[in-house]
Copies of this chain bind each other. A is one copy, B any other.
Amino acid sequence: MDLWYTEKHSDNVGITMKTTRTLFSGKSEYQQLDIVETLEFGRMMLLDGLVMVTERDEFIYHEMIVHPALFTHPNPKKVLVIGGGDGGTIREIMKHPEVELAVLCEIDGLVIEKSIEFLPSMAADIDGNNPRVKLHVDDGLAYIREQQNEFDIILVDSTDPIGPAVGLFEKDFYTLVFTALKDDGIMIAQSESPFYHAVIQKIMYRNLRAVFPIVEMYQAFIPTYPSGFWSFAFASKTCHPCNDFDHDRSAKRNFHTRYYNQDLHLGAFMLPTFARDNIAE
């Protein structure tokens, strides 16, 4: 039997992938969670029917949500990840020896549990055994409301602005992030596809600019996400992602990256005209 999983990226277009088996399918308090095996992309996690990560291309998303900020901040010691229950973002953060503590605040304990079980290449650092990692199974909004001047970097590794993540795209949330960051703090948030989500981007970047003095968009190619063209918001109090990029530290890093590199760090901020237009002030 040929089983194909199709994710619609709009009413009229989608990606379709051949699957071999379902490893887990269940409903948490917050969302539907499925982990399936695909032939092209390895294991794949879906939340409410949308692709979150696949084993084959997750390195792009995770390298790109982490390293641009970590190689821009002058001394990143304490990092918060909101969402990111698969553990891939924490794994990349752990490659930076400067980081003393990474806190993962994921609303859905089932995502963490099943990632540890089925996606070990991502989740190895969130199984409770890494002393530099602290887990909070909690609503990101509730958690961050209690934090002040606490983090060097906050990474918002959220789902799309529907379901449990909707509050993570609003101005009130960005104000809480601003308060939770130290004086030279940086926030990164996934910011959807410039090709399909122009309206969401417009609102999101307007909200970010109302709170942060420095707001830039950067891009990455992620084959399993809608259109393959994805973006991240870089928002900060003082650091500019290109002018303050620590090229030397990045060049001398003692770990390999398959997508990120020093040239690409700068190139990622050189956007197509239509993407720039989406977020023009």
- A13: B residues at CB distance < 8 A: 15-18, 38, 40-41
Contact of A175 with B by CB under 8 A: no
Report the nearest B residue to A270, measured CB to CB: B267
Question: Chain A: interface residue count, which band?
Answer: 35 or more
Q: Would you call the interface of chain A mostly helix, strand, loop, or mixed?
A: mixed
Max chain B CB contacts within 10 Å: which of A6, A260, A267? A267
Contact of A258 with B by CB under 8 A: yes
- A221: B residues at CB distance < 8 A: 195, 219, 221, 227-229, 272
A227 and B260 alpha carbons, distance in the complex (Å): 18
Query: Which A residues fall within an 8 A CB radius of B?
Result: 6, 10-18, 38-41, 57, 60, 195, 219, 221, 223, 227-229, 257-261, 263-264, 266-274, 276
Which of B10, B18, B264 makes the CB contact (< 8 A) with A12?
B18
- Given A221-B228, A258-B273, A268-B270, 17 more A-B residue pairs with CB atoms under 8 Å apart are A10-B40, A12-B18, A12-B39, A12-B40, A14-B15, A16-B16, A57-B195, A223-B228, A228-B228, A259-B272, A259-B274, A261-B276, A264-B272, A264-B273, A266-B267, A267-B269, A267-B271
